[in-house]
Amino acid sequence: MIKIIDKGGYSLTNHRVNYRRAVLWLGQTCNQRCYFCYFANIMEEKGHPEKPFMSLEKAKEICKTLRFKYNNNSIDIQGGEPTIYPHIFELMKYCNEIGLKPTLITNALVLDDIEKCKKFKEAGVFDFLISVHNLGEAHDEVVKVPGSHKRQMKAIDNLMELDIPFRFNIVLTNEVLPNLQLIAGLAEKKGARACNFIAFNCSPGQEGKRNKDNVTLYSKIKTVLPPVIDYLDEREIEVNLRYLPFCLFEPKYRKFIQDTKQTIYDLHEWEYTGRLWTQDKPQRRAADPLDEPPNLFKYLLERREGESRDIARFFEENPHKYEESMSVKVKEPTKQLTDIAVKVGDYKPLFFNNNLGYDENLTIYDYAYIEFREISACTYRYKKLDKCNSCEITGICDGFHKDYVEFWGDEEAIPEKSIGKKIYDPRYYMKDQMKVVEKEEYNWALPQGEGN
Ligand code: SF4
């Protein structure tokens, strides 16, 4: 059953549609130094080409392509730290002019100045996604800036005063676990619309930085989080757990888990036809000319071509997966998706490993997004364990971070076997999760006629 809760200016709903949000990395320049930052190594390296901020012209050109080629209608702007980008106000005005609703992913340090917050509001910031990594001196310690917690709290009060929406990002480090309930209380008291609890994820920019001492044991997370989730959920604050194995939590908490394939249905995550282009180096380096924007469907077909031997071998060993691929009936996509200028062409679903498979509710875009997430994040950063072979939800779960298994082993994995069939629709659990839809998105992200 579809539920909608009107929160005034936004709604919470369990109605799921595909995302339309873009992402832009302006350059890895930041006024903090968090040890778990995806870009920690880049920031440390003098002269790294991704470090300096790009020109306003380049940033605008990227936004224009994301809006008009990929039909994105909102954008997460990040730096490093986007609030210290010298042209941030002009860029936000431009985003609003072309129909990209801007969010800034920020540590909020400079928002302790209310005059600056007023300028952000005038320039058309839609909301801020604030990194609350701990409280008090523990926060200062993590981000390596004395006084940063106090400044962040002042910033949040400023945003409340000016009625600018905000959400929280919290990285699940060992240090923050004892304070999660207090942060949930802060979210309620100050009016955050959502709390994202993010595992200390691995990224190429952190090579050599993750180890047994700083990567939190999943079992600790599993013990501490459930009451915090209950608290937030009861107070109608969206909760997301990003990139954790589903089997860590009992089924009632699995709707909150957003692994790589669930992000396809999260309006605050990054749409992949456009991201395939923006995440590439030329679009992240100030000095490089922009690349030609690619077509995701063509990219997937070319990649299959490159892997054709492995794929043929898999089908020889698993002929039923080939037959399953050949008999797929694809669900009709919504207009929102067919408006993407990149064309589907000859792309068809192909289930070339055991994590891919048929579900009657998936459109051609769902299949492409799922395949892309499978071959990008799932193959490189995550690991399916031997135990996962017998798990019915392996098709929608990322598994464990690759290096995590080296540090901590696979004891915590408990394959799901009670469903009675293999699941391939990433919405299997999250169809019951209540998520924020902003009023600007009601005409396409809520069931027709609702919230208008
Ligand atoms: S696929 Fe593996 S990690 Fe994911 S829920 Fe199943 S057993 Fe756990």
Cα 394 to averaged position of ligand 1 atoms, centre (Å): 6
The residue ranges of every structural domain in the chain are: 4-287+431-445, 296-425
Model confidence at 280: pLDDT above 80: yes
Helix, strand, coil in percent for the chain, rounding step 5: 45, 15, 45
Q: pTM above the 0.75 mark? A: yes
Cα 399 to averaged position of ligand 1 atoms, centre (Å): 5
CB contact at 8 A, 311 and 352 = yes
Strand order in the sheet with 4-6: 4-6, 10-13, 435-438
DSSP 341: S
- Of ligand 1's listed atoms, the one at least distance from the Cα of 414 is 7
Comparing CA positions, the residue from 305, 426, 431, 272 lying closest to residue 356 is 426
Q: What is the mean pLDDT of residues 193-198?
A: 96
For residue 245 and ligand 1, the question of a CB distance below 6 A is answered with yes
Model confidence at 178: pLDDT above 60: yes
Can you give the pLDDT at residue 450? 55
* Length of the chain in terms of residues written: 452
Q: Which residues fall within 8 angstroms of residue 223, CB to CB, at 6 or more apart?
A: none
Q: Model confidence over 37-74: pLDDT tens digits?
A: 778 788 888 888 999 999 999 999 999 999 999 999 99
Cα 256 to averaged position of ligand 1 atoms, centre (Å): 16
Can you give the pLDDT at residue 304? 97
For residue 300 and ligand 1, the question of a CB distance below 6 A is answered with no
For residue 224 and ligand 1, the question of a CB distance below 6 A is answered with no
Which fold, 4-287+431-445? Answer: TIM Barrel (3.20.20)
Can you give the pLDDT at residue 43? 81
CB contact at 8 A, 236 and 7 = yes
Can you give the pLDDT at residue 31? 82
Mutate to test the pocket of ligand 1, among 249, 253, 387, 412 (most ligand atoms within 8 A of CB): 387
Nearest-CA residue for ligand 1 atom 2 is 388
Cα 415 to averaged position of ligand 1 atoms, centre (Å): 5
Lowest-confidence range among 29-33, 140-144, 246-250?
A: 29-33
